[in-house]
Amino acid sequence: MSDLTRRSFLTWTGVGALSVAAMSLAGCSPSGSGRDGSVRFAWWGGAERQQAYLEALDAFTAEHPEIKVAPEFGDYDAYQERMTTQMAARDVPDVFWIPSAAVLTYRDAGLYRNLDGTSGLDLGAFSAEQIESFRLGGELNTLPKSLFSPVLRYNNTFLEDAGVALPEQLTWDNLAEFLVDYSANNADGRKGVSYGPYHDMPFESFLRQHGEDLWTEDGTLGASVDGVGAWIDWWEKLRGAGATTTMSEQDGIEPSWAQVGDKVLTTFANSNHIVDEAQAFPDYEFDQRDVPALEDAAAGYHFTYYSRFAMYEGVPDERVEAAAQLMSFNLNSPELLSLVGLSAGAPPNAELLDQYEPDATPDERKVIAITREIAGTEQRARFEAPAGSGNWRNLLIRELEEVTLGEKSVPDAAAAFVEAVEGEIAGA
């Protein structure tokens, strides 16, 4: 942390930075946060993102010297644990990021303030149609802090070394054929793809292409046993053909990028991941493109995921406008975007993205290109994960482990996954 950021941190919170970090991770809010009129702001991320946002808050307080901000942050898992504790105590930060699986869980717990007509909230960069798309159940109670979509990322250096090119029109069938052929014939022993059926957003795209939805409007699992089974089967055929990294090579179902990044030609990811992950292997050039499509894919299967943030419903009236100004800063500030970049996704404010593009890194321009491409596609409605479904990814990983160990057939694993998820939602 820079000296300037450390001084600002002390100014915001009134206590030492290390104490704040420790209390935040333990589930406690910083001493005096909110009680001295400061706006509590909570987000997750690693050290670089934390420092970038602290520096951005320097810029915010320079613009609004009358508003003090108390930052609360942790890594993704610690953040969720802290929020659970704070929810139980009704001691939630004034402005906070929302984990993807918790959007409706937090709503049902009554955490969100209705933002319609909130003084200090500047939504002028968005059309009426866009604002409607931000609503949950007709209520403007969250806003997108960033957006991204599923992609196929590939190592362009490896393609050039092998003298091959991905199919121009990418389907699930021709991609599988290509990956099997690449794995069998490249001279470096690389595999076509890391074993990745745990990737949630490509999985959702696959289901939508089959005319299914991961989640339905009425809060149930939309994925059928057949749909889940088809997804796992696609991966198992690749694994059986030697076109994926083995469980040993990637150390389990969910590998780190550092483990597999130099072993594979392709991987499935979110469109923003290239910003950070390409830096792990600076000797290679990475690119990305839209995920494969079924030849008879259902109309409107594309989707853009909104990573959301919200204002707490319990914010005191005298602090609402200041919290709204902080939200506006997150939505509209070129200075914030210049500091945090696109590692967490593209900004939903298209005008802001246009301003940023000339200074974007080469990898960030790839995020911008795919964001614009997918934004221009037909997209049918997409629904958030219902309360009780927050464990669904772990349930999928459990079944994938059973399959890869030979303990379950693909149909049995798919049926067990659907039953388990439906049971958890019903019991919520």
pLDDT digit string, tens, across residues 208-256 = 999 999 999 999 999 999 999 999 999 999 999 999 999 999 999 999 9
Could you tell me which residue, 155 or 28, shows the higher pLDDT? 155
pLDDT for position 12: 35
- Residue 346 is predicted with a pLDDT of 97
Q: Say whether pLDDT at 9 is over 80.
A: no
Question: What was the pLDDT predicted at 25?
Answer: 39
Q: Does domain 150-301+388-426 have CATH number 3.40.190.10?
A: yes
Q: In 3D, which of 333, 178, 198 has the Cα closest to residue 260?
A: 198
**Burial class for 258, CB neighbours closer than 10 Å (0-12, 13-18, 19+):** exposed
Query: Which residues lie closer than 8 Å to 217 by C-beta, 6 or more apart?
Result: 381, 383
What is the residue-wise DSSP string for 317-336? HHHHHHHHHHHHHHHH-HHH
Instruction: For tokens 């108390």, name the residue.
Output: 70
How does pLDDT run across 321-335, given as a tens digit for each residue? 999 999 999 999 999
Considering the domain 3-144+310-341 in this protein, what is its CATH number?
Answer: 3.40.190.10
Domain locations in the chain?
3-144+310-341, 150-301+388-426
Q: Are 186 and 238 in contact (CB under 8 A)?
A: no
* pLDDT for res 149: 97
**What is the structure's pLDDT at 36?**
72
**146 strand-pairing partners:** 307
Q: Which amino acid is at 270?
A: N
How high is the mean pLDDT of the chain? 91
C-alpha separations of 277 from 75, 154, 169, 297 in Å = 17, 12, 26, 30
Q: 44 - beta bridge partners?
A: 74
Taking CA atoms, 279 is separated from 19, 152, 232, 273, 275, in Å, by 32, 17, 30, 10, 7
Structure confidence at residue 3 (pLDDT) = 35
pLDDT at 70 over 60: yes
Question: For 264-292, what is the mean pLDDT?
Answer: 97
Can you tell me the distance from the alpha carbon of 161 to that of 125, in angstroms, rounded to the nearest whole number? 45
- Which pLDDT belongs to residue 11? 33
Average pLDDT (103-107) is: 95
Q: Give Cα 195 to chain centroid, integer Å.
A: 20
**For the whole model, what pTM was predicted?**
0.89
- Are domains 3-144+310-341 and 150-301+388-426 of this chain identical in fold? yes
Q: Model confidence at 428, in pLDDT bands (50, 70, 90)?
A: confident
